[in-house]
Amino acid sequence: MTRAAITGVHGYVPDYILTNAELETMVDTNDEWIVSRTGIRERRLLKGEAQGTSVMAIEAVKGLLEKTGTAPEDIELVICATVTPDLTFPDTANIIAHKVGMKNAFTFDLSAACSGFLFALTTGAKFIEAGTHKKVVVIGADKMSSIIDYEDRSTCIIFGDGAGAVLLEPTEDGLGVQDSILHSDGIGEQYLLKKAGGSRHPITPDILAAREQFATQDGRPVFKAAVKGMSSVVIEMMEKYNLDANSMQWLVPHQANIRIIETVSRMANFPMDKIMVNIHKYGNTTAATLPLCLWDYEDQLKKGDNLILTAFGGGFTWGAVYLKWAI
Ligand code: UT7
């Protein structure tokens, strides 16, 4: 059976570090609150004029192709998961492919908020499994600073910018993507959204005055739903494949809040020392958290390792992907 294996991973985060100390000068918050409530110590921001999400994704993809010895023109499909596309259209994946020279690829963006990378990984894997495509690049990238209100302490302390990318190729050796459980329910819109700037509420002076061009979140209901959503799919996946804390090497959770990760750890009976965590240095980078975790922990991963990736995001959307590491 042909499966899709991740044969390379790379990431990129911008240089600018927004620390909790700097946030203290911008809104009524403090380092102690941020660290104890979220686990975040700093996040990266992409600064500069006319710098979109693609700027970071291009760096991640260039590094990925270089490290895997892949010629850009050999890539057949590029999927970019993002909620902060450079433009409404053309798609960001199209812009990335053009700038990197992936001129034989067809491209599209995929929007599923913080679950975007899981949904894109599953979609990319299907093209490999179907036998129609042999080299697929899946990207998770977001410039959250472009939709964050730096006067709103309930969101500006959480989010950061970044990009990660993986190369998917066919394998016959049983490794690679084994299964996905993905969900969307639509009941979370009121709790986590960017009200304006889409077709329902185009930007007007009134919208700008009400600051509705920015993302807003009612944290508590999202927190509860995130814990429930991620732990239930992780437990379901572990039971389905008879996995436990011994037979599974890593849990790779979306990085939204260290307390969410710790609660999922307890509920799934899976120890924290086998859970990838980098929220302290990047915050919540939306679609980029999972590939950035894989990139950060790459040196500790071994061929054959059992990994479950899990995420939860706006919509709501959530899910888990079970894969066997193939590099
Ligand atoms: O990635 C997509 C999915 N997103 C998530 O999973 C995020 C889920 N939610 C969360 O992570 C948490 O709900 C937050 C980190 C957003 C907020 O933490 P919380 O423990 O739920 O705090 P809260 O919103 O219940 O607020 C508690 C208190 C409030 O004050 P009062 O009413 O108790 O006096 C807030 O006004 O903390 C206050 N507060 C702050 N204080 C200092 C809220 N934000 C801040 C802040 N600094 N930045």
312 touches ligand 1 (CB under 6 Å)? yes
From 217, 223, 224, 254, give the residue whose CB has the most ligand 1 atoms within 8 Å, as the site to mutate: 223
pLDDT at 325: 98
Active site residue 133: no
- pTM, two decimal places: 0.98
Same domain, 144 and 266: no
Residue 253's Cα: distance from chain center in Å?
Answer: 10
d(CA 251, CA 322): 9
Please name which of 158, 212, 141 lies closest in space to residue 41, comparing C-alpha atoms: 158
| 33 Cβ below 6 A of ligand 1 | yes
Separation between Cα atoms, residue 50 and residue 143, nearest integer Å: 12
Average pLDDT of the segment spanning 140-148: 99
Instruction: Report the pLDDT value the prediction gives residue 141, as an integer from 0 to 100.
Output: 99
Q: Which domain holds residue 208?
A: 178-324
Q: What is the chain's mean pLDDT, rounded? A: 98
CATH number at residue 105: 3.40.47.10
Angstrom distances, CA of residue 204 to CA of 71, 88, 89, 152: 45, 17, 20, 20
Report the pLDDT value the prediction gives residue 40, as an integer from 0 to 100: 99
Say whether 10 is catalytic.
no
Is the CB–ligand 1 distance for residue 29 below 6 Å? yes
In a shared domain, residues 54 and 109: yes
Question: 33 CA distance to ligand 1 centroid (A)?
Answer: 9
Cα(157) to centroid of ligand 1, in Å?
A: 10
CA distance 274 to 265: 9
* 34 and 157 within one domain: yes
Rounded to an integer, what distance in angstroms lies between the CA atom of residue 273 and that of residue 288?
22
Same domain membership, residue 199 and residue 168: no
35-89 per-position pLDDT tens digit: 999 999 999 999 999 999 999 999 999 999 999 999 999 999 999 999 999 999 9
| Residue type present at position 129 | E
> Do 194 and 318 sit in the same domain of this protein?
yes
Q: How many domains does the chain have?
A: 2
Residue nearest (by alpha carbon) to ligand 1 atom 41? 29
